Amino acid sequence: MTYIPIRQCVACRKKGAKSEFIRFSARGGEGRGAYICPNAACIKKAKKANALGRALRVHIGEETYDELLREAEK
């Protein structure tokens, strides 16, 4: 049996394979990661609730969400 890690979007709580989400981590890719759908709706929702900051227990500025937003809109 192959183990498929299931991740969950911090904004809409949708579950799925890792590849379906953007992985976000606080310190340049190291440490704990949080996952979010690559769409503007989820990123805006996360920004409003600071969902990534709460998931990772670190401070995340609004500009970080704006960066993700740009990434998702590419």
Instruction: Provide the binding-site residues for Zn ion, judged by CB under 5 A.
Output: 9, 11-12, 14, 37, 42
The nearer residue to Zn ion, 9 or 55, going by C-beta atoms, is 9
Residue with tokens 């379906």: 20
**Smallest distance from the beta carbon of 1 to Zn ion, in angstroms?**
27
Task: Quickly tell me which residue has 């990434």 as its tokens.
Answer: 71
Is there a contact between 33 and 25 (Cβ–Cβ < 8 Å)?
yes
> Residue 14 corresponds to which tokens in the numbers above?
């949708």
Please say which residue, 28 or 47, places its beta carbon nearer to Zn ion: 47
Q: Which is nearer to Zn ion, 30 or 47 (CB)?
A: 47
> Tell me, what DSSP letter sits at residue 38?
S
Min dist. Cβ of residue 26 to Zn ion (A): 19
